[in-house]
């Protein structure tokens, strides 16, 4: 599978870069993973948005859904679209206002997922884990059926020991790292230290830090995570346009 970073900042776009959004591809299947601010413009560099097969959302904070409405308008108004094709948008149902917004008649259809589910989504099997966050949010574990390769995306989360199992042996661990070391046990986000410690405990093969802060030295953030993860696990920073082959 191939993961393309469309946006990697936490909270708000800054200096030309957008907030959380990734294109996850396997074979001919194109999945948009979160739809933060700026992701539609970035997506258009790689793919006609009409070629998306599905969208999946970790939660409904603005920095993860800001471009969802304009994506729906693209599908609604783009004359190229096959009117028979409806865009499935997978989200949790614990916020009915936002879940109902996933459906736009004749355009997109909200599809509920649940923590107990194993979602069969095209080439992927997806499982979920509720995170530590001010609003309901789910981490996702994607297993590519053809290869057995695993991507784990934390969504947004404060430290949660259960990630040690949930991310076990992941080929790529994509972790919310909004905070520098020294802010541990925050109610909403990992620190660099926590991202590294979980990567180590879970014995992941590669750690990518995302949901990055707008300010501060990102090289330091990376070094802090690398020190905690240990020398066996390469630690990288997400950046707009970066592509990870998994």
Chain residues that interact with Zn ion, rule: CB under 5 A = 61, 63, 156
Closest approach, Cβ 19 to Zn ion, in A, equals 7
Q: Which residue number is nearest to Zn ion in terms of Cβ?
A: 61
Listed in sequence order, the residues at least 6 apart from 161 whose beta carbon sits closer than 8 Å to its beta carbon are: none
Closest approach, Cβ 36 to Zn ion, in A, equals 8
According to DSSP, the β-strands at 118-121 and 108-112 are: unpaired
Nearer Cβ to Zn ion (107/140): 140
Closest approach, Cβ 179 to Zn ion, in A, equals 12
Instruction: For helices 192-202 and 218-229, give the axis angle rounded to 10 degrees.
Output: 30
Closest approach, Cβ 131 to Zn ion, in A, equals 9
Nearer Cβ to Zn ion (52/65): 65
Nearer Cβ to Zn ion (26/90): 90
Listed in sequence order, the residues at least 6 apart from 29 whose beta carbon sits closer than 8 Å to its beta carbon are: 53, 122, 123, 124
Phi first, then psi, for residue 217 (nearest 5°) are -90, 105
DSSP label of 145: T
Cβ 125 vs Cβ 118: under 8 Å? yes
The structure tokens 């304009």 sit at: 70
How many whole angstroms separate alpha carbon 117 and alpha carbon 1? 22
In the numeric block, which tokens belong to residue 122? 């095209």
Nearer Cβ to Zn ion (141/189): 189
Nearer Cβ to Zn ion (136/200): 136
Q: What is the 3-state secondary structure (H, E, C) of 31-49?
A: EEEEECCCHHHHHCCCCCH
Nearer Cβ to Zn ion (63/224): 63
Backbone torsion region of residue 43, taken as left when φ is above 0, otherwise alpha when ψ lies between -120 and 50, otherwise beta: alpha
How many whole angstroms separate alpha carbon 195 and alpha carbon 158? 10
Nearer Cβ to Zn ion (104/208): 208
Closest approach, Cβ 156 to Zn ion, in A, equals 4
């Amino acid at each position: 599978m191939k993961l393309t970073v469309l946006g990697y900042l936490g909270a708000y776009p800054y200096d030309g870069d957008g907030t959380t959004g990734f294109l996850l591809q396997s074979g001919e299947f194109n999945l948009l993973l979160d739809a933060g601010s700026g992701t539609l413009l970035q997506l258009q560099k790689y793919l006609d948005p009409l070629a998306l097969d599905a969208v999946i959302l970790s939660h409904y904070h603005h920095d993860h859904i800001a471009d969802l409405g304009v994506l729906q308008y693209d599908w609604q108004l783009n004359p190229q679209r096959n009117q028979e094709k409806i865009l499935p948008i997978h989200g949790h149902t614990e916020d009915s206002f936002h879940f109902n917004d996933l459906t736009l008649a004749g355009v997109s259809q909200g599809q509920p997922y649940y923590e107990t589910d194993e979602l069969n989504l095209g080439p992927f099997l997806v499982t979920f884990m509720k995170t530590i966050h001010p609003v309901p949010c789910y981490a996702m574990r994607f297993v590519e059926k053809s290869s057995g390769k695993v991507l784990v995306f934390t969504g947004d989360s404060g430290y949660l020991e259960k990630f040690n199992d949930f991310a076990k042996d992941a080929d790529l661990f994509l972790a919310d790292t909004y905070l520098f070391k020294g802010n541990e046990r925050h109610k909403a986000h990992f620190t660099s230290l926590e991202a590294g410690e979980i990567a180590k405990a879970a014995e992941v093969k590669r750690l990518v830090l995302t949901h990055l802060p707008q300010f501060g030295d990102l090289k330091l953030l990376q070094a802090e995570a690398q020190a905690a993860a240990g020398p066996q696990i390469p630690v990288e920073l997400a950046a707009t346009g970066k592509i990870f082959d998994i």
